[in-house]
Amino acid sequence: MMQNFSQNPQLTHLDSQGEARMVDVSAKEPTRRHAVAAAQVRMSAATLEAIQTGNAPKGDVLATARIAGIMAAKQTSQLIPLCHPLPISKVEVSLTPDSHLPGYQIRAEVITKAETGVEMEALTAVSVAALTLYDMAKALEKGMVIESIRLVSKTGGKSGDYLREEDKSSSAYTGES
């Protein structure tokens, strides 16, 4: 017996036969969409110091990771099968040293005016920035850990605004620029 998937409105990416499809957003009005994502890379204090002082064998770890994150956000629809290509208005990626980890806190902010949101673009940006940081510093330490990739906040769209509960006290992650 064939199940009729079109009767379940929560399954937006499945057609009536249960096959994956890209959602048609053509009837939606473009609105301003904003998303912030975060991740962290944990490493030894020695590796953190080497990156901070510019003594990594491959060169400027942070600049390379920042550019990689920006590029990744712009290519998200080519990486995630059902994502829509979007006109990205802004991508900002920051890597902040955190001696308590030790390691880096990574943050990406993405803005567009479109029919759908940029959460996946922000998540892709922090993920690729973290992977690039790892690649650039793996000669120093192979045991680095990429962790806590998460959506921090998003605004715009039918589903409304979202602010991750544990990040509500951190205005650094929620302020729009």
What would the two tokens of residue 64 be?
């390379």
Residue 72's pLDDT band, with cuts at 50, 70 and 90, is very high
Task: Give percent of the chain above pLDDT 90.
Answer: 68
Residue 46: inside a domain = yes
Query: In the predicted model, what is the mean pLDDT of residues 16-23?
Result: 70
31 or 112: whose pLDDT is higher? 112
- pLDDT beyond 90 at 56: yes
One of 15, 24, 98, 135 is an active-site residue; which one? 135
User: Which is more confidently placed, 136 or 171?
Assistant: 136
Is 78 part of a structural domain of the chain?
yes
Q: How many domains does the chain have?
A: 1
pLDDT reported for residue 28: 74
| In a domain? residue 5 | no
What is the secondary structure of 84-146 as a DSSP string?
Answer: PP--EEEEEEEEEEETTTTEEEEEEEEEEEESS--HHHHHHHHHHHHHHHHHHHTTT-S--EE
Known catalytic membership, residue 161? no
Q: Write down the pLDDT at residue 177.
A: 43
Residue 17 domain-assigned (yes or no): no
* pLDDT one-digit tens code per residue, 85-127: 999 999 999 999 999 999 999 999 999 999 888 999 999 999 9
Q: Are 125 and 37 contacting, i.e. CB atoms less than 8 angstroms apart? A: yes
Q: What is the CATH number of the domain that holds 130?
A: 3.30.70.640
pTM of the model: 0.84
User: What's the DSSP call for residue 72?
Assistant: H
The overall average pLDDT reported for the chain is 87
Q: What residue numbers bound the domain in which 163 lies?
A: 38-167
